[in-house]
Amino acid sequence: MTAESPRRSNDLAEPVLKTAVNSDILLTDRMKGTRYMKLSKYSYLIMLGHVCADMTQGALPAILPFLVSSGSISYTSASGLVFAVSAVSSLVQPVFGYLGDRTSRQWLMSLGVFLSGVGLAIMGLMDSYWKMFAIVAISGVGVALFHPEGGKCANYVAGENKGAGMGLFGAGGSIGFAIGPMLASFAMVTFGIEGTVIFAFPAAIVSIMLLLSLKGLKSYIADGHDEKPRQVTALENDWPSFFRAVTIVFVRSIMNYGLVVFIPLYWVGVLGQSEASGGLRLTILAAFGIIATLAGGKFADKYGYVKLIRIANFAMLPFLIMLLMVDDPTIATLLIIPLAFCNSGPYSAMIAHSQSFLPKSMGLASGITLGLSVSVGGMVSPLIGYAADTFGLSSAMYALVAVAFLGIIFSLIIPKQRDFTKGR
């Protein structure tokens, strides 16, 4: 009995020692700014759903010229279709987010992807404008269904890696917007207007993948792989801090719309380059924006959300001013790269930071930050266009300088990052 005591004592002590060592390693890793857990397969699956949902939004503008040239619709009707999908998807998202907070509805992601893709697919088969309008509105509803639940689940499954998880989610949307026009152009040239049916295939495949993964996703979230949602939702909503945090998201949306709309126009109207050259610069902005979104998420996890948001907003102003001062297209093109990083780098940090203040209403927070913010950017963009029509194209870029200055101000008043370990 006595001879076995030391062995049993060592057996009992060994797992304790291992736990202590592992805890020290984990603590050391966190002190170094690294993360112990990697993003799960569900983070990538939700990102893929975001690709499909936003691919339809990116594809519609590329389809419209084919519809106009075929005599199916007028320019006014074309703008009406864009309004249908953007207004419905952006304004309804907070409503679906609110409903999603009442009970778990991960299946909405699958339904949203399906409706967004199939709605656009059927549009080319319609024989009247109002049928197209109704179908496109259904596609917008699909987009609205996906984003709140997708944003909420992306936050949950990211565990401690909120910045990286939301960065991956945001990059999925950017990739979708980039792929959409290319796929639409290929389908229209190859198959004609009826080529819109091509969007039904990726939507059906990804929606089925999401459906088949629902059981595992629910178990993953319930088990709380790295951070249990119920631990977070034990905290109270902090609405004043949320509204302070979300203001910078709205400013970023205005800036994003302004850059996307006016950089190609600036290249043609001010720098005297070709239309194709202006479109290429937009592609450069989008490509580096995707890289910036992914890199920004990891930076935010390591150094903090607020720090990244402030650095990006302070850096945006001088780069915009330099763009206005140069008349060499090559130098101007190089300036697009840091502008893309300043614009897209803090995206995931802004979303995760805002979500953290509404732990009991994560779906509503996602609906506002991912949906309503798009509407704000879209509503302000025509005002910048009016300035361009009235005072010249350069004035639109100076208006963006003013927006960048607002970004600096709002980045200074956002609340500090919420500390979940202390229940604040």
251 pLDDT more than 60: yes
**CA distances from residue 1 to 7, 152, 345 in whole angstroms, order as listed:** 10, 56, 64
227: helix, coil or strand? coil
- Average pLDDT of span 203-214: 93
Cα(244)–Cα(221) distance, rounded to whole angstroms?
Answer: 29
Lowest mean pLDDT among 45-49, 87-91, 197-201, 322-326: 87-91
C-beta atoms surrounding 230 within 10 Å:
11
**CA distances from residue 24 to 17, 20, 34, 289 in whole angstroms, order as listed:** 10, 6, 14, 37
Instruction: Let me know how long the chain is.
Output: 424
Position 26 scores a pLDDT of 36
**CA distances from residue 335 to 258, 275, 355, 385, 392 in whole angstroms, order as listed:** 16, 19, 32, 22, 22
C-beta atoms surrounding 48 within 10 Å:
19
Lowest mean pLDDT among 63-67, 236-240, 319-323: 63-67
Query: What DSSP character marks residue 273?
Result: -
Cα(365)–Cα(98) distance, rounded to whole angstroms?
Answer: 8
284 pLDDT more than 80: yes
**71: phi then psi, degrees, rounded to nearest 5:** 85, 10
- What's the predicted TM-score (pTM) here? 0.72
pLDDT tens, 365-397? 878 887 777 777 767 877 887 788 888 888 888
Position 5 scores a pLDDT of 44
Enumerate long-range contacts of 131-137, CB under 8 Å, 24 or more apart.
Answer: 132/72, 132/73, 132/81, 133/80, 133/81, 133/84, 136/60, 136/81, 136/84, 136/85, 137/84, 137/85, 137/88
Give the relative orientation of helices 275-303 and 162-191 as an angle to the nearest 10 degrees: 160
Position 234 scores a pLDDT of 58
